[in-house]
Copies of this chain bind each other. A is one copy, B any other.
Amino acid sequence: MASKFYAIVIGAGTGTGSAAARRFAKSYPVVLMARSPASYQDTVDGINASGGQAVGVNADAADPASLKSAFDRIRDELLPGHRLAAAVYNVGANFKRAPFLEAKVEDFDGSIAGNARGFFLFAQQTIPLLLESVDAAPPYPPTLIITGATASMRGAANCAGFAAGMVARRALGQSLAREFGPRGVHVAHAVIDGAYDNVNGGVEDGKLDPDAIAESYWHLHTQHRSAFTQELDLRPYVEKF
């Protein structure tokens, strides 16, 4: 009997997380993870109402026990017998602009916790599952996708803590791509380079469309292993860069 596969999106409460869940739900049952149901329930209901299969699980990416418990529930209760086809790390933490001398070390800690440590822990849960899927005739190479940002590429002024977490997350992804690519797991990082709160003067389509982002995430997942993308950027056509 053919294996059954599923996808996970953590950080499911944002536009991108919700859109990714809806996109992957066209092909897989999807698990949405966030710290509280308020973040994922509407998307879960929407997917189920439109013929897909979705379930929400509470989890805090930066808390190893919370994360482990969520994965145990998936395995034992929610989707027993299923294998992981794709995982999306979409947690965003502590973006704020502040002069460095007014920033608190807690801001730094919060950015690291959600943007990097949480990804480290999430990868430690998902990589073994993705490796198991490699030989189980998955429809596409098992995939771990990371949502990045402009701050994943450099540290801007007044943005030190956030950038620290985001560049660390990107580097973790690079390490994993280099270690697990040769074993068949596709690790890809998407640099979302557009401010959500700056709609480029209100010009049409000047704002990132989460569904468009999700479409590229799906493309990354479907890439053949002879031509994996490790990193791509995504930005509105009118964005300066």
Chain A residues with a Cβ under 8 A of chain B: 64, 99-101, 103, 105, 108-109, 112, 116-117, 120-121, 123-124, 127-128, 141, 151, 154-161, 163-176, 178-182, 184, 186, 194, 205-209, 211-213, 215-216, 219, 222-241
Instruction: Tell me which residues across on chain B come within 8 A of A124, comparing CB atoms.
Output: 100-101, 103, 105
Report whether B205 and A229 are in contact in the complex, using a CB–CB cutoff of 8 Å.
no
Instruction: Tell me which residues across on chain B come within 8 A of A229, comparing CB atoms.
Output: 216, 232-234
Give A203's nearest chain B residue, CB to CB.
B182
Instruction: Tell me which residues across on chain B come within 8 A of A121, comparing CB atoms.
Output: 105
Q: How many copies does the complex hold?
A: 4
Given A64-B105, A160-B171, A175-B156, also A184-B228 (CB < 8 A): no
Question: Which one, B194, B209, B224, contacts A209 given CB within 8 A?
Answer: B224
Report whether B176 and A205 are in contact in the complex, using a CB–CB cutoff of 8 Å.
no
Instruction: Tell me which residues across on chain B come within 8 A of A194, comparing CB atoms.
Output: 227
How far is A64 from B106 in the complex, measured between Cα atoms in Å?
11
Interface centre among A109, A186, A224, A237 (most CB of B within 10 A): A237
Instruction: Tell me which residues across on chain B come within 8 A of A230, comparing CB atoms.
Output: 233, 235, 241
How far is A62 from B227 in the complex, measured between Cα atoms in Å?
29
Report whether A226 and B207 are in contact in the complex, using a CB–CB cutoff of 8 Å.
yes
Report whether B186 and A172 are in contact in the complex, using a CB–CB cutoff of 8 Å.
no
Report whether B179 and A158 are in contact in the complex, using a CB–CB cutoff of 8 Å.
yes
Instruction: Tell me which residues across on chain B come within 8 A of A239, comparing CB atoms.
Output: 181
Give A214's nearest chain B residue, CB to CB.
B227
How far is A223 from B218 in the complex, measured between Cα atoms in Å?
12
Report whether A109 and B100 are in contact in the complex, using a CB–CB cutoff of 8 Å.
no
Report whether A168 and B205 are in contact in the complex, using a CB–CB cutoff of 8 Å.
no
Q: List 27 A-B contacts (CB under 8 A).
A: A64-B105, A100-B175, A100-B179, A101-B128, A108-B117, A154-B171, A155-B171, A155-B173, A155-B178, A158-B179, A160-B175, A163-B174, A163-B175, A164-B172, A166-B171, A167-B168, A167-B171, A182-B237, A184-B237, A194-B227, A211-B224, A212-B224, A212-B226, A212-B227, A213-B227, A215-B223, A226-B237
How far is A169 from B161 in the complex, measured between Cα atoms in Å?
10
